[in-house]
Structure 1
Amino acid sequence: MSMETHSFSLGVRVAPFVKRTVTVYHVPRLRNLNRTHPAAQCILPQPPLTNHSPTLRDICQPHVPTHILQRMEEIGYVMPTDVQREALPHLFSGRDCILHAQTGSGKTLTYLLLIYSIINTLKSSVQALVVVPTRELGMQVTKVARMLAAKPTGVDGEQKSCTIMALLDGGTLRRHKSWLKAEPPTVVVATVGSLCQMLERQIFLLESVRVLIVDEVDFIFSSSKQVSSLRKLLTSYSSCNNRQTVFASASIPQHRRFLHDCVQQKWTKSDVIHIHVSPVEPMPSRLCHRFIICNNKRKLQTLLSLIQSDAPESGIIFVGEQSEKSKKAGNAPSTDLVIDFLKTSYEGPLDIVLLEDDMNFNSRAVSLLEVRKGGGYLLVATDIAARGVDLPEMSHIYNFDLPRTAIDYLHRAGRTCRKPFSDMKCTVTTITVPEERFVLQKYENELMFNSEELIP
């Protein structure tokens, strides 16, 4: 196959939007709320930080054990992000919360600090439960939780450590069953399917759980495979009155309605608070959005030319999942086409790695291990990589296929710009055919960003 090199110029084709002033407001009182509690609230960010702003330690000091704070600072978490500054005081007060903030904004650390403020490692029981939609996100949360729970450098003396179990799809349930019976872990990070298997067999009970976190809550509620199990988890297996409940996501469509449902369905207490960070700018301002129009036959060559022109440090190429009709017709999935093309045509320094739903759990784990061990890479992935895969070195996202929804675009874009307080510019580039341009414009309007056209 012949190699072609193209250069691209930028032309802004979308009118800029005007940013609105961010204020604090209360959601109107909803019908049938328990009137003994304050009305549910929605809180938006306060004014920007000043030179005298409190550190994370200042915010957490009265609540989180000192050794956790030391580990937090050793890892590099010193100043709070917006969501941490806004949410932690409410969480430490015991309020149920909906954390609604950009990807990479620090929601995971926020709810983990809450967990470490509540649990008692001297008690032999499961006291905190984090529910996630995918194994990959579960592995990421478990990793951060264990890093925080590790013994700080230079600290002497014996102290019972916090044990954290990853109860994830693809794991060995028999081993987890033995662990739960022998010495229950303090914290469990679980996918919905594996958790419900344990609950249905009464191997694992939630009576001792003091805090329940549901990460990527909108994804689970929109999943036909997981939503019924999550509803049972929230209402049948435990009661909102006996626990503190936290929902987290970068995207909560119709969030006022969701807040209402949380109270009406008794997923949370009636004084649940909705903390919405960056509602006017749902994606980082240092993220550059671009698109290029070409016909289907030119998409692979266009992708190659973009990669050669951009010379990314690392990148993800998002490819649409294969339809059932295409599978029945015996067509090769788009991921295979992209992988095969790049392996024969791309001559750059980056390794090419595949991550998709149809891979077994071990293969997916190997792929993630490859990209996390260091060095540059091009990860060809379906939307399984759009939620919870934390790759801070990511500089470029390529949408080889247009995302199905604006929410999917948001989460794909959220795989980059994940270094807190970094000013590194990152790029999302969408390759689209002429008849799909209006769809991308719709996403721009919904997510309030400007997209620039690359002119070949």
Structure 2
Amino acid sequence: MTFNELNLIPAILKALTKENYTTPTPIQEQSIPAVLAGRDLLGCAQTGTGKTAAFSLPIIQLLSQQQSKTHTQRRIRSLILTPTRELALQIAENIGAYSQYTTLRCSAIVGGVSQKAQERALHQGADIIIATPGRLIDLMNQKRIDLQHVQILVLDEADRMLDMGFIHDVKKIIAKIPAKRQTLFFSATMPPEITKMVKALLVNPVKVEIIPESNTVDRIRQSIYMVDKANKQNQLIHILQDKSIASALVFTRTKHGADRVVRDLMRVNISAQAIHGNKSQNSRQLALSNFKSGATRVLVATDIAARGIDIDELSHVINFNLPNIPETYVHRIGRTGRAGHSGVAISFCEMDEIPFLKDIEKLIGKTIPEVKDHPYPMQMTAQPAKMQGSTASAVATKPARPARPAKPKANPPLKPRSEWFRKGSKTSR
């Protein structure tokens, strides 16, 4: 199937041709006709499946086909809610490209920057608003935004908004939108709270569920390094000394961990920047821009901040910390191997992360090959008999400690409490 067969208007087809879009992805192929028909939509899809175009293209067409009223201010007719600033800006950039041959205007409303420019954009008028919940609530409380004319609502990455604690804000926003509307709901996972929202918000929805194709995972060359926590940084530096690694997106579990990784890489002259929630919007956008342009070789990110990072030719993804949710692993490695390119996914696994590795291998239905010949192997003393696959060489036991001196058979007299910590103490008296 081609985009021409999806009954899209010439202005959109012209934009898609310019952006080198040729064949719709499965979620686009299934979603676009349903949305054009005015149906509510429930999309269950991972990152990298093309869902932004799946909802953006029909929205642009539906709004463009409405007869515009001349000499009247533009009204917000579509609202797209998304969890992070990066993702909101990425969606806004994509919609700008898709709608370049129409008269529609879109604007991003995000926190972390001054709201003055956003106020000006709202005053000039916008047909489509892409917003993060926090900043949108602020503008609503200040009565600087009018949502009474919203016809199409999109909730993107709903499960991530739940994880980030935005669900209550989302419910407040929805309460201010007309009840008669078209709702498009996207979530990679369906926890109970999300399922409850789906039942409350959607009316007889079309359900589109895209399971990641096995060949997508197979196209990515995966490997695992069993390494002690203390040696992860050394292992990362050792890998990045390979100059053939043009770009690497490194995932850490925490913001402070991301900063620490960057500092250690910079000490050995490996260009790196961090992107996470403690960074200002300007610094995050600068880091992302530098990474896309190649000025920065390594981008270190937390999962939440990485939403919205979309780079077709990313060569390597490195899991400095394995995620405790196996689906997150699929999200992460899916950022490489895009647009027909091959990709490499490298993961470090420390002792405490072995259960996470087993869950990941169960989800993807394959054993991740272990790299055994490296300078920082995990220290081991025994192998549990039941462990199989790549987890077999990693043990759930720590290196043996030196044996303690045998206790004397006769109990010596107890020392006074004040004497217990005298040894080595400078302040004991």
Structure 1 residue aligned with 2:202, among 249, 268, 282? 268
Higher RCO structure (Cα 8 Å, ≥6 apart)? 1
Change (3 A) 1:91 1:138: same
Match of 1:74 in 2: 18
Residue by residue, what CA displacement relative to the aligned partner does 1:210-257 show, whole Å, maximum 9, x if unpaired? 111111111002222x110112223x11244x11111224x21348x8
RMSD, aligned CA: 2.3
Given that 1:343 and 1:352 are in contact with CA atoms closer than 8 Å, whether structure 2 keeps it comes out as yes
TM-score by length of 1: 0.75
Given that 2:150 and 2:178 are in contact with CA atoms closer than 8 Å, whether structure 1 keeps it comes out as no
- The Cα shift of 1:106 comes to 0.9
Change (3 A) 1:454 1:309: farther
Alignment: residue pair count: 367
- The Cα shift of 1:360 comes to 1.3
* AA in 2 matched with 1:237: K
Structure 1 residue aligned with 2:172, among 213, 226, 232? 232
**Which aligned pairs between 1:31-430 and structure 2 lie closer than 5 A?**
54-61=1-8, 65-120=9-64, 122-123=68-69, 124-151=74-101, 161-181=103-123, 183-224=124-165, 226-234=166-174, 236-240=175-179, 242-249=180-187, 251-254=188-191, 258-259=194-195, 261-263=197-199, 265=200, 267-269=201-203, 271-278=204-211, 281=214, 284-309=217-242, 311-321=244-254, 333-345=256-268, 351-374=271-294, 377-419=297-339, 422=340, 424-430=341-347
Given that 1:103 and 1:418 are in contact with CA atoms closer than 8 Å, whether structure 2 keeps it comes out as no
Distance in 1 separating the partners of 2:155 and 2:265: 37
Given that 1:215 and 1:247 are in contact with CA atoms closer than 8 Å, whether structure 2 keeps it comes out as yes
* AA in 2 matched with 1:451: I
SS where residue 221 of structure 1 aligns? helix
Distance in 1 separating the partners of 2:243 and 2:358: 23
- The Cα shift of 1:443 comes to 2.2
Distance in 2 separating the partners of 1:440 and 1:409: 10
Change (3 A) 1:451 1:385: farther
Residue by residue, what CA displacement relative to the aligned partner does 1:281-323 show, whole Å, maximum 9, x if unpaired? 496431232211111222112112223358322111112215x
Given that 1:320 and 1:334 are in contact with CA atoms closer than 8 Å, whether structure 2 keeps it comes out as yes
Larger Rg: 2
Change (3 A) 1:359 1:376: closer
Distance in 2 separating the partners of 1:337 and 1:105: 32
Change (3 A) 1:91 1:443: same
Given that 2:43 and 2:186 are in contact with CA atoms closer than 8 Å, whether structure 1 keeps it comes out as yes
Given that 1:280 and 1:448 are in contact with CA atoms closer than 8 Å, whether structure 2 keeps it comes out as no
Distance in 2 separating the partners of 1:118 and 1:376: 40
- The Cα shift of 1:447 comes to 4.3
* AA in 2 matched with 1:417: G
SS where residue 170 of structure 1 aligns? coil
Given that 2:274 and 2:301 are in contact with CA atoms closer than 8 Å, whether structure 1 keeps it comes out as yes
Match of 1:431 in 2: 348
Given that 1:390 and 1:415 are in contact with CA atoms closer than 8 Å, whether structure 2 keeps it comes out as yes
Residue by residue, what CA displacement relative to the aligned partner does 1:296-352 show, whole Å, maximum 9, x if unpaired? 222112112223358322111112215xxxxxxxxxx322332222223356xxx32
Determine what percentage of the aligned residue pairs are the same residue.
Answer: 25
SS where residue 368 of structure 1 aligns? helix
- Gapped regions of structure 1 (runs ≥ 5): 1-53, 152-159, 323-332
Given that 2:113 and 2:282 are in contact with CA atoms closer than 8 Å, whether structure 1 keeps it comes out as no
Distance in 1 separating the partners of 2:32 and 2:230: 51
- The Cα shift of 1:280 comes to 6.7
Change (3 A) 1:280 1:75: closer
